[in-house]
Structure 1
Amino acid sequence: MELDDAYANGAHIAGAEEFPPRWAASAEDFRNSLHERARLDIAYAEGERHRFDLFLPEAAPKGVLIFVHGGYWMAFDKSSWSHLAVGALAHGWAVAMPSYDLCPEVRIADITQQVAKAVIRIAQEVPDVPISLTGHSAGGHLVARMLDPEMIPAEVGERMKVVVPISPLADLLPLLRTSMNDKFQMDCDAAKAESPVEMQQRFHSEVTVWVGAEERPAFLDQAQWLADAWQADHVIAFGKHHFNVIDPLADPESDLVRLLVS
């Protein structure tokens, strides 16, 4: 369809097929290295995929970072990203990573509700500390949606101090002009309802929209649209494309990690 290539990331990244197995291997090695500080498959609801992993620092957590994975709401789960917890853990923060159901078995609005349940459950599991949220691509969309007061109770929303959507999908209307919508099954009303750029009420978190300078123009546009709609800070990361823009999460000294644990 008209915008299929505009939203095709892997087709424009050299060695794109090497990234998923590399992510999965790094994540497994990291989980194994943490031993008892990796608490896996904690339930937040009843579904098979309604689970999150929680990685704990050596001392009492100073905060909890929640990372929501991408994959166009159609791929991946929490198991491929564990190694991205390294940066926040080094600063004494806990890190939680949920899975969720995938399209076409569910709709994007259902996934948003699932992630909201995960955030609420994680807040209970790590109480009385600040919460930061970040997510990549579709995960960027999902963490942005968590700022909707209709999604999250006030007592949790008030703890959400920093939100960083990374390469987010912020306006879902263009996706109606991709073949992916065969699985999303959205119409205009559904796309608008799930678009962060349309959100009028939000919790007062500090928001920074983060995107790689080498991303597809459509993703640069999506990031700009969200930053403009929310009057949010906007970082364009030099030399980063859609698949490696998340790498700094594993670096304790990166600007991205320092922003999230500030």
Structure 2
Amino acid sequence: MGGGAMSRQEDGIDWDDAYANAAHIPGAADYPSRWAEAAAAFRAGAFGECDLPYGHHPRQRFDLFMPPGAPAGLAVFVHGGYWLRFDKSFWSHLAAGPLARGWAVALPSYRLAPEVGIACITHDIAQALGVMARLLPRGPIVLAGHSAGGHLVARMICKDIHLPETVAARIARVVPVSPLSDLRPLMRTQMNTALGLDEPEARAQSPVCHTPRPDVPVVIWVGGAERPAFLDQARWLAAAWPGAALSIDAARHHFDVIEGFARPDSPLTGALLDAVPT
């Protein structure tokens, strides 16, 4: 299969619709402005620093929010948007849950397709983790990401990712939320015109095609009201990675499944932080 978009109706499946979230969520158009408003309000009252660089590109920046006192560890949230859109500024409020539990929280932006491919975006997150770990050199690191961000945090514990061992050894848990774990179906969508995936690249960048580090607990989280394709993606990762837990959050769809990170007592924040040695 080539890098361009393929027929939308291949195998009798409308692949664009299968991976379309907004068309199936009531009021979907209102969510980005609500996220941005909540994120800006959070930043206005939070202690931390924004736009810290981890590279030279304008998008290679992260925000870091700090709790009172010494942090229990570092929680990193990586945003979604099919590697095509959004940045860290939409999601600051999702730091509230871990922050209230005494964790520092970092949220990176990254370069987007079609300017770069998914391999480069994956490298951005690995590079960001190295810089974050140097800023906070003690304590565990937990990773969470949504959709494309779920893919990116899952990739961080694949054995082909060359993190410094001092960083990799600190990763204590990974929570991919609604992750894209097998990128091969995306070759059949129109978005592949921008993503530029072919068969070798899709396999190379798919967490389901890799072996994860065996010592890192993984909790795969997905909404029960999500598109069947995203439920499949979550189940495929759980099946491919022995020992990974799968949690289906009933009635949650792709846009509200991450809201729990804004609350310290939510099951989603608990999945990220509970029982992590600090």
User: Shared topology, TM-score over 0.5?
Assistant: yes
1:54 CA drift (Å): 0.1
Shift of 1:148: 2.2
Distance in 2, Cα, partners of 1:161 & 1:202? 11
Given residue 260 of structure 1, which amino acid in structure 2 is its aligned partner? Answer: L
Task: Report deviation, 1:95.
Answer: 0.3
Is the 8 Å Cα contact of residues 79 and 146 (structure 2) preserved in structure 1? yes
Paired position in structure 2 for 1:59: 69
> Structure 1 residue 87 and structure 2 residue 89: aligned?
no
CA contact (8 A) 2:74 2:106 kept: yes
- The percent identity for this pair of structures is 53
Instruction: Provide the residue aligned with 1:122 in structure 2.
Output: 132
* Cα RMSD, aligned residues only: 0.9
Partner of 1:148: 158
Tell me how far apart the structure 2 counterparts of residues 133 and 94 of structure 1 sit (CA, whole Å).
12
Give yes or no for contact 1:170–1:226 (8 Å, CA) kept in 2. Answer: yes
In the TM superposition, 1:90-105 aligns within 5 A as 90-105=100-115
Contact 2:159–2:211 (CA under 8 A) maintained in structure 1: no
Aligned to 1:206: 217
Spell out, residue by residue over 1:203-255, the C-alpha distance to the aligned partner (whole angstroms, 9 max, x if none).
Answer: 52110100000000000000000011002100000110000000000011011
Judge conservation of contact 2:211–2:241 (CA < 8 Å) in 1. Answer: no
SS in 2 for 1:104: coil
Asked if 1:163 corresponds to 2:174, the answer is yes
Report the equivalent of 2:266. 254
> Alignment partner of 1:4: what SS?
helix
For residues 57 and 68 of structure 1, the distance between their equivalents in structure 2, rounded to whole angstroms, comes to 19
Q: Please give the secondary structure, in 1, of the residue aligned with 2:39.
A: helix
Letter in 2 for 1:237: D
CA drift of 1:15 comes to 0.1
- The match for 1:32 is 44
Which among 178, 187, 202 is matched to residue 191 of structure 1? 202
SS in 2 for 1:70: coil
Superposed structure 1 runs of 4+ greater than 6 Å apart: none
Q: Per-residue deviation at 1:125?
A: 1.0
Q: Which runs of 5+ in 2 are unaligned?
A: 1-7, 10-14
Q: Which residue of 2 aligns with 1:227?
A: 238
The equivalent residue for 2:117 is 107
The answer to whether structure 1 residue 13 and structure 2 residue 64 are counterparts is no
1:136–1:166: 8 Å Cα contact kept in structure 2? yes
Partners of 1:31 and 1:185 in 2: CA distance: 35
Which residue does the alignment assign to 1:47? 57
Three-state SS of the structure 1 residue aligned to 2:33 is helix
The alignment status of 1:132 with 2:142, answered yes or no, reads yes
**Counterpart amino acid of residue 7 in structure 1:** Y
Q: Distance in 1 between matches of 2:228 and 2:159?
A: 31
Counterpart check, 1:173 vs 2:175: no
Q: What runs of 5+ residues in structure 1 fail to find an aligned partner?
A: none
- Aligned mates of 1:169, 1:221 — CA distance in 2: 10
Q: In structure 2, how many angstroms separate the alpha carbons of the residues matched to 1:90 and 1:178? A: 40
SS state of the match for residue 237, structure 2? Answer: helix
Q: How many residues align?
A: 260
Summarize deviations over 1:103-130 as a string: whole Å, max 9, x none: 1111011100011000111111111110
- Does 1:68 pair with 2:75? no
Shift of 1:59: 1.0
User: Contact 1:157–1:203 (CA<8 Å) still a contact in 2?
Assistant: no
TM-score by length of 1: 0.97
